[in-house]
Amino acid sequence: MSTRSITTAKSIIYSEHGIPKDVISVHTHQLPDPKGNQVILKSLGFPINPSDINQLEGVYPSKPEKTLEYGTEKPSAIAGNEGLYEVIELGSGVQDLKLGDRVIPLFSNSGTWTSHSIAAEDKLIKLPKDISTVFGATISVNPTTAYQLVNDFGLEKGDWLIQNAGTSAVSQAVAQIAKTKGINVISVIRDRPNLQETIDKLTKQGAAKVITEEQNGDRGVSAEIAKLTEGKLKIALNSVSGKSSSNIARKLAPDSTIITYGGMSKQPVTFPTSLFIFKNLKAIGFWVTENNKKDPDSKRRTVADLVKLYQNQQLEELSVHSND
């Protein structure tokens, strides 16, 4: 008879919310034997996403349940929502996964800041082994958000969209994905010392036009964009809010939509009344975590398409710091 070697996990856990450095700690615990369709996973990499920090602070609407199953004194949760894993042990009922396969969690709140974990096979998405560790570990939030923003709101070839926070990971992915569909992108960015270098980079990725936030509020620039887009500027993607959101909304064609998926300025979305009345604009929100929870198959399809774009060199690996 063979005996299983015990898997010991080191995890970054928290039992309370607050300033991240004050509430997290490293905890060592043993994983149980995998049963049925469960697998043991070894972490290959995980990012620190702003939503992970918000979760630790207690201000993010989606949070994992705290538990005593890790052998802690207080109910605790493992931090993190994204990560790439290698399958290192199989339960007796596992059907589709093999040892050495690379996988990501299907849902958020799975606790990814850990050296090892255990999960059910049907709560994982398998990735090809030629996907880089960075791309695989970060595919669930930013690229998935970008893909669904481009594909799920009726944009067609020849249409235009405008987005603020143009250097963010989501915005860079939006420009690349939109380019593959023949959709034109205007990216709004903050002014900076290396402005032309940044514009060149974003243009190479797929942005048809890049403007600064100062230009975003300029009526002359708005007139130029109206002439350029010829009434086909149908979507505005807002992750900044405040004055930036009203300025990108003003550039939209009648009967268009502004979609808010973030608020980096920590200011409310400002939206002139006249745009509702005279342009019949619509303002909606987008939250990829909830979308994937409601429709898990949409995430599976999204990830499959993102992998194809990556393999075809149409979507690059993105590494963006929060101050970009």
Q: Are 79 and 51 in contact (CB under 8 A)?
A: no
Instruction: Say how many C-beta atoms besides its own lie within 10 A of residue 199's C-beta.
Output: 18
For residue 246, how many C-alpha atoms fall within 13 Å in the half-sphere facing its CB?
14
Q: Are 298 and 272 in contact (CB under 8 A)?
A: no
Instruction: Say how many C-beta atoms besides its own lie within 10 A of residue 200's C-beta.
Output: 12
Q: Which of 60, 85, 147, 310 is catalytic?
A: 60
Q: What is the longest distance spanned by two Cα atoms in the chain? A: 79
Give every CB contact of residue 40 below 8 A, 6+ residues apart in sequence.
7, 31, 34, 87, 88, 89, 90, 116, 117, 118
How far apart are alpha carbons 123 and 117 in whole angstroms?
13
Does the active-site annotation cover 60?
yes
- DSSP annotation string for 208-267: SEEEEHHHHT-HHHHHHHHHHHTT-EEEEEESS-BHHHHHHHHTSPTT-EEEE---TT-S
For residue 322, how many C-alpha atoms fall within 13 Å in the half-sphere facing its CB?
9
Instruction: Give the 3-state secondary structure of 31-82.
Output: CCCCCCCEEEEEEEECCCCHHHHHHHHCCCCCCCCCECCCCCCCCEEECCCC
**Chain-centre distance of CA 100, in angstroms?**
26
Instruction: Say how many C-beta atoms besides its own lie within 10 A of residue 295's C-beta.
Output: 12
User: Strands 257-260 and 282-285: what pairing?
Assistant: parallel
**Chain-centre distance of CA 214, in angstroms?**
27
For the annotated catalytic residues, the residue numbers are 60
